Amino acid sequence: MVIRITAVAVAFAATASLTAQISHTHLSSIQSANQRGEISAFDASSARVFVTNAGNNTLDVYSASATGGLSWVQAIALSGAPNSVAARNGLIAVAVEGATGQAPGAVQFFDAATGAPNGPTVTVGAMPDMLTFSPNGQKVLTANEGEADLATGLINPEGSISIVDVAARTAMTASFVPWNGQKAALQAQGVRISNRNGVTLAQDLEPEYVTIEATSTTAWVTLQEANAIAEIDIATATVTQIRPLGFKDHNLPGNELDASDQDSSNGNFQNFPILGIYMPDAITSFTIGGVTYLATANEGDSRSDFAGWNDQTRCASVDNNFVLDAEDPTPETGLYTLAQLNTNSVLGRLNMATGDYDLARGDTDGDLDVDQLYVFGARSFTIWTTSGVKVFDSGSAIEREMLARGLWVESRSDDKGPEPESVTFGIVNGVPLLFVGLERTNSVMAYDVSNPSAPVLVDVINVNGQSGVGATLPEGLQFVAAGDNPLGRPLLTVTSEGNGTLSLFALDSGTAVATTFGAGCPAVQPLTLASNLPQLASTWTLSATNANPAAPFCTFWFGTNALPASIELTAIAAAGCFAHIAPNLGAFVAPIGAGASSYPVTVPAVPALLALTLVAQATTYDGIAFASSNGLAAVVGN
């Protein structure tokens, strides 16, 4: 929903930009026949979207029209269950599991325009969970998770990263085996590595997601369960670094969380002396001012589904299974009381990390009891330097935003909250944006990262609410630049695995502006306030100050979806004076009181109204100023 204020911005130099604004339009959503689908890839050359469908062992193909409509084209049969897909210059690469999750996997290639196989399949490591093309298109990298088998937990292949030469169709392996001898040292540094079943470091590490810097020389890989990021030299297929990410202190202001789903309160945000294990799922990289940064979606993950690997315990059961400092005769010397731990409305329902590593690290004073408790994930996204130094963490902001927007899911309070799972980067009309997918609240948050140390929330997409067909558990995000799709607009594809739904959103940018007009213009001179800021209520407050009590004013609202091109402000008479030339979509008239007055102005009843233009007109100009309740201001007169 784009703001149309071109005439004002160009013709009158006093127009001042306040903040970049982003809005979105839902273009289309479509479900697969079996309602399965997880990851998607948009191919620019064919304007097709390819979606993994593990239910049918297929790659489902959809076409995108010039208006953003999606239609089913075909299903491409695969050799096994697909986990990920990527597209580059008309070539599609798919990460496919082997006969079992512990067997070697494969990368299959297809022609985007026809769906026909393109060259030989390449064997890679066990359970290739994610893959991506290098920016130069010469390599495909797969994160081979190598999970243990569910039934026994004893068949545990090594995690690795495969580097596929696209032209030669050969693969090299970046292995963690050379790091096996450093297991104890890395544990001491904070890498969450288990000692269960005598596993080696290489067996325990499970690469989850890959991002590659712009020159295609270095990759970074999340090791989710280990709470670490590995750095890979692509040319030599070498793991050069394994960096622990540390922990999030939920006892600090700004890091509050709602810890219980049984506290009879939505958004009961409190500080507790517990540490969040970041455990990121997705990772992306981006460059601002010549500096490359990493961004992670800190979902958190346990191994409770695997036989012999359970590392998760409800807080109320912790004292029954482990020796806690809170059971000491003087519990006031510990971090917790048994009342806190055992009360379901406080901490009792919260899922704690209780693997062998967590319990050992939690014994902070070496007296063989547990002093410090840890939880899975951080309910946030984080921006890091490439050397693993934290630049920014969103704290409790994601949960608070979900509550404010009516997207709160109380049943998830005890278990990782909204679960930030996916993250991707894109530039919309010069604005660098991070998109963070929230699996449990079915939404995507967009942040302006022009200043990586202070990102600004600029939009929230309610994927399920806007899909029209149901779109729960968003898993895959892809940003598509305006020049890479038939619409000529920046797009975001969202794949929701709960319903197998592919959704397409157009992204637009505007600027919240305040315009100051000079004196001497004819009567009925308009004053323009424009904003894409999300409207959470049906009214704005318009404040008028320094007003002539005899001067009435009128406001006109433009914009329900995209503002039609015919609605413009046109210059009249003296320079810097404008008038509207199209029928108004809404109007409000009120007398102006002397000094300062506030007037509630009803916004047109359009649920998806994220962008609009407000024009205020007055008959007398003696320095009158208007301000809207979302912080925009403007002045008429001198």
Residue 625: pLDDT above 90? no
Q: Place 336 in a pLDDT band, splitting at 50, 70 and 90.
A: confident
Q: Place 594 in a pLDDT band, splitting at 50, 70 and 90.
A: low
Query: What is the predicted pLDDT for the residue at 337?
Result: 81
pLDDT tens digit sequence for 248-258: 999 999 999 99
Contact 204, 184 (CB under 8 A): no
Contact 387, 449 (CB under 8 A): no
Mean pLDDT, rounded, of the chain: 82
Comparing 134-143, 486-495, 533-542, which segment has the lowest mean pLDDT? 533-542
Radius of gyration from C-alpha coordinates of the chain? 27
Residue 195: pLDDT above 50? yes
Residue 519: pLDDT above 50? no
Query: What is the predicted pLDDT for the residue at 179?
Result: 98
Q: DSSP H helical segments within 418-560, as ranges?
A: 463-467
CB atoms within 10 A of CB 69: 13
What SS3 state is found at 55?
coil
* Distance (Å, whole) CA 75 – CA 40: 13
Query: What is the predicted pLDDT for the residue at 328?
Result: 59
Query: What is the predicted pLDDT for the residue at 22?
Result: 75
- Tell me phi and psi for residue 202, to 5 degrees: -65, -35
List the structure tokens of 209.
């997601």
Q: Place 20 in a pLDDT band, splitting at 50, 70 and 90.
A: low
Q: Place 600 in a pLDDT band, splitting at 50, 70 and 90.
A: low
Residue 17: pLDDT above 50? no
Residue 207: pLDDT above 60? yes
Query: What is the predicted pLDDT for the residue at 84?
Result: 98
Q: Which residue has the tokens 């399965």?
A: 36
* Distance (Å, whole) CA 437 – CA 398: 11
pLDDT tens digit sequence for 126-167: 999 999 999 999 999 999 999 999 999 999 999 999 999 999
Q: DSSP H helical segments within 353-417, as ranges?
A: 356-362, 397-404
Contact 379, 399 (CB under 8 A): yes
* Distance (Å, whole) CA 158 – CA 155: 10
Residue 330: pLDDT above 70? no
H or E segment and range at residue 187: helix 183-189
Residue 534: pLDDT above 70? no
Query: What is the predicted pLDDT for the residue at 452?
Result: 96
pTM, full prediction = 0.80
Higher pLDDT residue, 57 or 535?
A: 57
Residue 580: pLDDT above 70? no
Query: What is the predicted pLDDT for the residue at 626?
Result: 57
Comparing 226-230, 483-487, 528-532, 546-550, which segment has the lowest mean pLDDT? 528-532
Contact 220, 211 (CB under 8 A): yes
C-alpha dihedral, 376 to 378 to 382 to 384, nearest 10°: -50
Residue 121: pLDDT above 80? yes
pLDDT tens digit sequence for 298-319: 999 999 999 989 999 999 998 8
Residue 568: pLDDT above 80? no
pLDDT tens digit sequence for 384-398: 999 999 999 999 999
Query: What is the predicted pLDDT for the residue at 601?
Result: 53
| 231 alpha carbon, distance to own chain's centre | 22
Pairing verdict, β 374-376 and 275-277:
parallel
Residue 567: pLDDT above 60? no
Contact 448, 20 (CB under 8 A): yes
Query: What is the predicted pLDDT for the residue at 586?
Result: 43
Q: Place 582 in a pLDDT band, splitting at 50, 70 and 90.
A: very low
| % of the chain exceeding 70 in pLDDT | 75
Query: What is the predicted pLDDT for the residue at 404?
Result: 84
Segment 413-430 shows an average pLDDT of 94
Segment 42-53 shows an average pLDDT of 97
